[in-house]
Amino acid sequence: MLSLQDSVGSLAGVGPKRVDDLKTLGIFTVEDLLLYFPTRYDTYEVQSPSQAIDQQKLTLQGTVMSEPVIARFGYKKNRLSFRLMVENEIVMVTFFNQPYLKNKIELGKDIAVYGKWDGTHKRLAGTKVISVTTEHNQFDAVYPSNKAIKQPTIRKFIKVAFDKYESVIASLLPPALIERYKLVERKDMIREMHFPSDDESANHARRTAAYEEFFLFQLRLQAIKMENQQKNGISILYHNDELKEFIQRLPYQLTNAQQRVINEICRDLRRPVQMNRLLQGDVGSGKTVVAAIAMYATITAGLQAAIMAPTEILASQHAQNLAQLFEGLPVNVGLLTGSMTAKQHRELTAQIKNGAINLIVGTHALIQESVEYANLGLIVTDEQHRFGVNQRQKFREKGEEPDVLAMTATPIPRTLAITAYGEMDVSVIDELPVGRKQIKTSWLKSNQVGVAWEKVKQELLNGAQTYVVTPLIEQSETLDVQNAQDLYEELQEYFGPQYQVGLLHGRMANDEKDAIMEAFKANKIQVLVSTTVIEVGVDVKNASLMVVYDADRFGLAQLHQLRGRVGRGSRQSYCILIADPKNQVGIQRMQTMVETTDGFVVAQRDLELRGSGDVLGLKQSGVPEFKVGDPVGELKMLQIAKSDAENLLLTPSWETKTENLPLVEYLTIRKLQTHFD
Ligand code: ADP
Ligand code: MG
């Protein structure tokens, strides 16, 4: 029987090579393929040149008035051109590097050409010849594609898949909801998304797809929440005196906000239900020590605690700090990462399994199948926004219902937080440690960069260190951005040999990265040129200045994270953004950074300034990504989907109703899959 979960390999024309190609686009099953939606549509409705808008893509139809001529230039480049008579006007049509089109263009024949219109010169830069004799689609879907697999191939496969599987596409949404919101059946939604018959049905389909996406996302979150609530968690009976003593021994006084969230967490730990808590707090608000206290509490109860970080740098920093913090206490810290040798890995996992190590720090390596825990009581995830729903749940399933604390420094507006992290309770640290000086941020144009270098010099003379951040590693032909390698050499010349300049980027080997970070921490390097690998979590108190090149290439949330690398000690700290924004929004973004250091304000402004369809801002903002729906622009719909999902799950025996069977099946399958995130 046909199932949407069939591998794409079951389709005619999709062999093993193509199966691999499709994987590169995240397409495994027929359903993945059918839900691989276009990013836009090209319209082939024929237009008149008199109404054509300059620099727009459009289709013109006319009679070929001259033999096509091919001119060759450069290395392997060519241009085919001919004259086309369109409504008594001569239009020059050119095609670049498509010489084979010559056969399609016959003198005196009628053809239609799709391309970009140059109104001033009455020229059309063609991209496609459209046959006028056969009926053609008014719209052509345009898909995200890559080198391995091109547009026409994707389009062809989707057509093959739809024709074969159309009869088994059942609507997942309950009929009552389809009715209430005037949505379309899933089959029609999929057809219209790929092969729209007109604007209106395309919009209708898009709305259905967005709602379905939101609803399914929320249904999964709410299902997880309910499932977790039903489980009996462990009651972690920690030793209050030992915990108090540990807190007393800290080199500083906890802030009120830290104290409050620790109380919330400790209450959860004691209760025999599974804690599932999100800890939000701006950069530098001191989340790590809160996690450390919770982990210590767990360990005093005789259980293991684990903390997962998104990068190796961060994981090893945590391991070091925690080992130091727990010195002299019965805490054995182990660091588990992907770059260990097989032998190291084997030894460490054995100690995790027999309980000799009771505080496990690591990257994703912590949730691998091969890692077994002796008695995992608490799991902490740092920089939660880097992990997806499934990774959260996978970790939760590692022990026997361990408590979970997820930390994130990406403040997202509360309304969104509860929809995006809908399965969790939320605690917020809304206060910075006292004595923390505000980071002074300024914005310079690239021709004022000398001012920034002067400032670096001044900080160096004060004995402080500097980060210099740049978007790219190596010279790129297409992007005129400062790159780390060049900048590193330039700064070395300028500040050396008196001061040491270091280079850190994502393509370096892990031990190399660690060595550089160590040297910077130990003040053996004073100026660290880096890409965004230092974006999260890195903590060097003596660093007082951050210079960010091409700052307009970063999202605001990301800039805020970057800026959070300074101002972590008692030094007055500075952030200098170098940018030549090209439009008003870019200017406002830089001004926002100058005006505020409050992460929640930055996040809010980021979302406001983000144009529709600007996924970059969203990617960095900690809001989960959706394929069709826009969680910011369509927040209302997301909220509605949330309450609809909750209501459905609260309906007695909803899962036995025939109409909900496709949905039940969907949930069962999704629980077993990981490539959703
Ligand atoms: P983040 O919330 O960004 O992860 P960290 O946990 O790294 O922040 O803390 C930032 C710095 O502040 C650390 O160096 C930490 O030692 C210090 N810190 C944490 N809590 C306090 C406090 N209550 N008083 C003073 N310093 C603190
Ligand atoms: Mg942190």
Ligand 1 atom nearest to 429, measured from its CA: 2
Give the distance (Å) from ligand 1 centre to CA of residue 568.
7
161-165, 175-179, 429-433, 647-651: least confidently modelled range = 429-433
Residue 526 has pLDDT above 90, yes or no: yes
Of 596, 620, 655, the domain-final residue: 596
> Does the pLDDT of residue 467 top 80, yes or no?
yes
User: What amino acid occupies position 429?
Assistant: I
Pocket, ligand 1, Cβ cutoff 6 A: 252-255, 258, 281, 283-289, 409, 433, 539, 541, 568
Residue 393 φ/ψ, nearest 5 degrees: -70, -35
Using the atom order of ligand 1, give the atom closest to the CA of residue 569: 14
Residue 130 Cα, ligand 1 centroid: separation in angstroms? Answer: 63
| Helix spans in 271-388 (H) | 287-300, 312-325, 342-354
Report which ligand 1 atom has the smallest distance to the Cα of 281.
2
What's the distance, CA 668 to chain centroid?
A: 25
Tell me if 72 is assigned to some domain. Answer: yes
Of 312-321, 348-357, 385-394, the least confident: 385-394
Task: Please tell me the number of the ligand nearest to residue 321's CA.
Answer: 1
Cβ burial, residue 541 (10 Å; 0-12/13-18/19+): middle
CA distance 580 to 586: 8
Q: Which atom of ligand 1 is nearest to the CA of 541?
A: 14
Ligand closest to the CA atom of residue 521: 1
Contact 343, 313 (CB under 8 A): no
Mean pLDDT for the stretch of residues 444-457 = 94
The verdict on residue 12 lying in a domain is no
How many domains, in total, are found in the chain?
Answer: 2
DSSP string spanning 10-26? GSTT--HHHHHHHHTTT
**How would you classify the pairing of strands 333-336 and 359-362?**
parallel
Q: Whole-model pTM above 0.85? A: no
User: What would you measure as the largest C-alpha separation in the chain, in angstroms?
Assistant: 94
pLDDT average, residue stretch 269-296: 90
Last residue of a domain, one of 136, 163, 193: 136
Find tokens 């389709």 and name the residue. Answer: 11
Residue 210, CB-side half-sphere exposure with 13 Å CA sphere: 20
Cβ atoms within 10 Å of 623's Cβ, excluding its own? 25
- Which tokens sit at 486? 């060049």
Q: What's the pLDDT band for 411 if we cut at 50, 70, 90? A: low
Nearest of 332, 378, 321 to residue 355 by alpha carbon: 332
Dist. CA 421–CA 427, nearest whole Å: 12
Residue 515, C-beta contacts closer than 8 angstroms, at least 6 positions apart: none
Give the number of the atom of ligand 1 that is nearest the alpha carbon of residue 321: 16
Nearest to 89 by CA among 50, 126, 47: 50
Assigned domain for 514 exists: yes
Nearest atom in ligand 1 to the alpha carbon of residue 435 is 25
Is 77 in a helix, a strand, or coil?
A: strand
Going from the Cα of 383 to the center of ligand 2, the distance in angstroms, rounded, reads 7
In this predicted model, what pLDDT tens digit does every residue of 532-547 receive, in sequence order?
777 666 788 899 999 9
Probe ligand 1: pick from 248, 250, 252, 408, max atoms within 8 Å of CB?
252
Pocket test for ligand 1, best of 249, 278, 280, 289 (most atoms within 8 A of CB): 289
Per-residue pLDDT at 677 exceeds 50: no
CB-CB contact of 130 with 44 (8 Å): yes
Query: Does residue 201 lie within any of the structural domains?
Result: no
Report which protein residue has its CA nearest ligand 1's atom 9.
286
Query: Whose Cα sits closest to atom 19 in ligand 1?
Result: 286
Interatomic CA distance for residues 69 and 72, integer angstroms = 10
Is 340 within the bounds of a domain? no
Q: How far is the CA of 537 from the centre of ligand 2 (A)?
A: 4
258 CA: nearest ligand 1 atom: 23
Among 596, 631, 663, the domain-final residue is 596
Q: Is 295 left (phi over 0), alpha (psi -120 to 50) or beta?
A: alpha
- Asked if the structure places residue 516 within a domain, the reply is yes
Distance of CA 562 from the midpoint of ligand 2 (Å): 12
Residue 64 within a domain: yes
Strand order in the sheet with 425-429: 333-336, 359-362, 304-308, 376-381, 403-408, 276-281, 425-429
Written as one letter, the residue type at 93 is V
Kindly report the CATH number assigned to the domain that includes residue 453.
3.40.50.300
Residue 264, pLDDT score: 93
> What percent of the chain is predicted at pLDDT more than 70?
91
Q: Are 526 and 465 in contact (CB under 8 A)?
A: yes
Quick one: which H or E segment has residue 668? helix 661-672
The mean predicted confidence, pLDDT, of the chain is 86
CA of 213 from ligand 2 middle (Å) equals 32
Q: Given this model, what pLDDT does residue 675 score?
A: 32
Question: Residue 632 has what DSSP assignment?
Answer: T
Within a domain: 469 = yes
Residue 555 has which token pair? 């999202």
The Cα–Cα gap between 118 and 116 comes to 7
pLDDT of residue 280: 87
| Lowest mean per-residue pLDDT among 40-49, 123-132, 407-416, 433-442 | 407-416
Quick one: angle between helices 584-595 and 599-609, nearest 10?
170
The residue contributing the CA closest to ligand 1 atom 15 is 286
Say which ligand is closest to the CA of 289: 1
Reported as a single tens digit per residue, the pLDDT across 51-69 is: 888 888 888 989 999 999 9
Sequence-ordered strand ranges (E) for 481-603: 501-504, 527-530, 543-548, 574-578
pLDDT for 493 beyond 90: yes
Pocket perturbation via mutation, ligand 1, pick of 285, 314, 325 by most ligand atoms within 8 A of CB: 285
pLDDT tens-digit map of 87-105: 888 999 999 988 888 888 8
Q: Ligand 1 pocket test: pick from 254, 539, 598 the residue with the most ligand atoms within 8 Å of its Cβ.
A: 539
CATH for 87: 2.40.50.140
**Domain limits for position 569:** 440-596
Ligand 1 centroid to 536 CA: how many Å? Answer: 14
Q: Which residues, listed in sequence order, are joined to residue 123 by a DSSP beta bridge?
A: 92, 118
